[in-house]
Structure 1
Amino acid sequence: MSICISSKQDSIFRRELHRFSLLTRLTSLIFASLILILSLVGCSVKNQYKELENVIYDSEGNYECLFDGRTRRFVVVVPAGATSDSPLLFMLHGASGTSDGFMLQTDMNEVASDRGFVLVYPQGVGEKEGTSSAMGWNNNLSSEEGNDDVGFITAIAQYIEDILGYGKTSRALLGFSNGGFLAYRIAIERPELFDAIISVCGTIMPSVWDEKSNSRDSNDPPISILQINGTEDDVVPLDDASIYGGRTPHMDKIIEYWIDFLDLDQESAISLSDIVTATTYYSSTSRNRFTYVLIDGGRHSWPDSSSVGFDVRTFILDYCESSFS
């Protein structure tokens, strides 16, 4: 039995076959384009922050690298038995300070190592344009001006997670004085980077304060912020003062900002010693909180347990641990 196909039917068949072939090729092209676009987007997200380059280190945990065209340094103190679950605590020194000097000043290494913390001491540098050789941190909002210290801290955290394998789930950042300024800047610019931010004798730069967001991204993870001040600090005073060419916000305004920004509706206060009070503002619906520790008579210095009546190191580590999920 034979089937006869007319020339007209054959023409229709060939035309439909050609259309099907074009449609198939077009679908394949669209699919390939989507894959390319998604891969480019993924690369742009992954590489939107600069990385450490030419990293070298010694057996004592001293690291040197190239970042943003400058030689940068940091120290990593790893406790015995550290694992991927070991938390990171970054320690930022004050203006004109050093990472080694801050280790001695805070005396944090032994007590933190005993509790399994990996400590990271980044080293600040002088101004990028060479107008000042004092070692410190760039607290201005724009990373286009001066050293990109937000990027530097971000790159260290990524390097330690990817290469050393620590801090995959728990990270905290502490800054003293000028380091506390940068800690606040990171809390505002990169709120997803750390679970806890601790500022000791620090505050928020006027430029950062003026450009801060007043609405929190619902996708941002919970954050805990700890501020420690002395009532007699005449370097970074509690009231609005002229610092770095601008006027810093009064500490009361900073507290009010975080209460509103983090939607904190609860409050509790305790005495840590005869001269130290700690007030915590927290949320009944989330893990966000802001804690303000005020030292009566305290000046612009790292709190010493013999003079303030409580061990600030233990308090800070407790605070960090309670901030980790």
Structure 2
Amino acid sequence: MRIALLAAAAVTVVLVVVGIVVVRHDPGAADPVVAGTTEQVLEHDGRTRSYRVYRPATLLTRAPLVVVLHGGLGTGEQAQRAYGWDARADAGGFVVAYPDGVDRAWNAGGGCCGNPGRTGVDDVGFLTAMIDELARSMPIDRDRIYLTGMSNGAMMAYTMACRTSIAAAVGAVAGTQLGDCPHPSPTSVIHVHGTDDENVRYDGAPGSGVARIDGPSVPELNGFWRAVDDCAPPVSSTDDRVTTMRASCRDGRAVDLVTVAGAGHRWPGAELSPLERLGADRPSDAIDATRLIWDFFAVHHR
């Protein structure tokens, strides 16, 4: 594969800026109850890792957790700002975590991506430790932990599904699966991809531009997870520019593929970035991927 970088015995409050609380963890202590966004750090594998957490004012007694993984060159702050997950959390009463990859990338397997992929950063261990920390400090429902991501973040979500049994469901946008996945845990999957994505191509050919990702085609990846989840044959429907292929699977799981005609390497329905406002490739307005993914997550438990 040819690959390059894609598009926690007390808690001390360190800084409060514009409603954001920054905290450092000491093991054995519970977090303060804070509604809104907190910035947190966690020592893992000799590194100080950072992540943001959004807690709505009204939280379910047993709250789902959605982990949102930014794309290559992105950050947790950028993902929080662009993809609209805080508004979904307000409506649904769940917690959202926005972790930061080392040097703005994730080690998603197969040598991808960037410095984490080249140096073997333990992102699976970091994300597992972060989720455990959040479950100790908040009323997280362990049967409703979800992973979603964009591009390199989507690849990392698939890597977590391949190497852990944490996720009840995965939501991948404009990504693929890299590296070996010999013993995947049965997991519901929804994958959203544009037909005109040149960075992570729909047909699985090597990507051009910033990305040089050479992975399976999107339909091939969908078939892999249908086999993992022991699914019935999928049913396809088309509405304007969006084709949805749904498969019902054993034990109430599902595997969905949402294909967006004409969409490029962007999160459909996302906030426009400064470059996009100046005319760069824009997110498709055919669907709101965040709403679509949350609706899928909401009906699937582990």
Establish whether TM, by shorter chain, passes 0.5. Answer: yes
The one-letter amino acid paired with 1:309 is A
- Quote the residue 1:277 is aligned against: 243
- Quote the residue 1:298 is aligned against: 263
- Quote the residue 2:192 is aligned against: 228
CA distance in 1, matches of 2:9, 2:42: 6
Post-superposition shift, 1:93?
Answer: 0.4
Instruction: Please say if 1:139 is aligned against 2:108.
Output: yes
TM-score, normalisation: structure 1 = 0.71
Equivalent in 274, 289, 293 of residue 312 of structure 1: 289
Post-superposition shift, 1:241?
Answer: 2.9
CA distance in 1, matches of 2:291, 2:9: 35
Instruction: Please say if 1:199 is aligned against 2:176.
Output: no
Post-superposition shift, 1:293?
Answer: 0.4
Post-superposition shift, 1:98?
Answer: 0.8
Post-superposition shift, 1:259?
Answer: 2.0
Q: Which has the higher strand share?
A: 2
CA distance in 2, matches of 1:101, 1:276: 26
- Quote the residue 2:28 is aligned against: none
- Quote the residue 1:90 is aligned against: 67
Instruction: Please say if 1:122 is aligned against 2:95.
Output: no
Asked which structure has the greater RCO (Cα within 8 Å, sep 6+), the reply is: 2
Instruction: Please say if 1:249 is aligned against 2:216.
Output: yes
Equivalent in 149, 169, 188 of residue 123 of structure 2: 149
CA distance in 2, matches of 1:247, 1:310: 27
CA distance in 2, matches of 1:53, 1:101: 32
| DSSP-derived class of the 1:234 partner | coil
| DSSP-derived class of the 2:62 partner | coil
Q: Which has the higher helix share?
A: 1
% identical equivalent positions: 27
Post-superposition shift, 1:104?
Answer: 1.5
The one-letter amino acid paired with 2:224 is Y
8 Å CA contact 2:107–2:123 kept in 1: the answer is yes
TM-score, normalisation: structure 2 = 0.76
| DSSP-derived class of the 1:266 partner | coil
CA distance in 2, matches of 1:279, 1:295: 12
- Quote the residue 2:153 is aligned against: 179
- Quote the residue 2:279 is aligned against: none
8 Å CA contact 1:77–1:120 kept in 2: the answer is yes
Post-superposition shift, 1:242?
Answer: 3.2
Alpha-carbon distance change, 119 to 263 in structure 1, aligned in 2, over 3 angstroms: same
Listed as ranges, the gaps of 5+ residues in structure 1 are 1-51, 127-134
| DSSP-derived class of the 2:192 partner | strand
Listed as ranges, the gaps of 5+ residues in structure 2 are 1-7, 13-21, 24-33, 112-116, 271-282
Once the two structures are overlaid, the 10-residue window that deviates more, 90-99 or 137-146, is: 137-146
CA distance in 2, matches of 1:78, 1:184: 25
8 Å CA contact 1:53–1:65 kept in 2: the answer is no
Note the aligned Cα RMSD (angstroms). 2.6
Instruction: Tell me the matched-pair count.
Output: 254
